Amino acid sequence: MDFSSQSAPRLAAERKRLDLSQEAAAKLCGVSREMWGKYERAKASMGTEVLAAFAVAGADALYILTGARTENTAHSPMELAFLRNCRALPSQDARMAGLNILVELRKALGITELPIPHQQQAQPAASSVKSVKASGGSLAIGGKVVVKKSSGE
């Protein structure tokens, strides 16, 4: 079995995970829709420039190449911003406080499962931030409501 036939189904899976059509993925990567279809059918091999462009769009290049998921990297510019902001915090305690806030936000929005299968749920840890509270679809930090779930949901 050659590399293209092994990576083609993973390429298609990543495109679908990103909710892209073949045409949209092709456009992001600077190739025709016909060529993209050939990549997904293992009729052509994707070059590094195309793979790099797809990775910039949020695809997990390691998964496409090896079948192993990269769960500790950003898959979109928004996730990258979250990671950079977390890494910029001055201490482990501050990073844990940030994690606690995200966990509480997730709870306030009614999200009980993480979207990536087999990933362990982040558990709140003791931190210096004691005033994070989630209830009734709202998240309050220091007594100030920062997220309120709309009543139409």
Can you tell me the distance from the alpha carbon of 106 to that of 17, in angstroms, rounded to the nearest whole number? Answer: 21
Domain ranges of the chain: 3-66, 89-148
* Residues 6 or more apart whose Cβ sits within 8 Å of residue 97: 127, 128, 129
- What pLDDT is stored for residue 89 in this prediction? 85
- What pLDDT is stored for residue 50 in this prediction? 96
pTM comes to 0.50
Which amino acid type is present at position 131? Answer: S
Q: Report the CATH fold assignment for 3-66.
A: 434 Repressor (Amino-terminal Domain) (1.10.260)
- What pLDDT is stored for residue 123 in this prediction? 44
Of these ranges, 20-24, 54-58, 81-85, 98-102, the one predicted with the greatest mean pLDDT is 20-24
Radius of gyration in angstroms for the set of CA atoms belonging to the chain, rounded to a whole number: 20
Can you tell me the distance from the alpha carbon of 25 to that of 34, in angstroms, rounded to the nearest whole number? Answer: 11
- What pLDDT is stored for residue 8 in this prediction? 95
Helix runs in 109-150, H state only: none
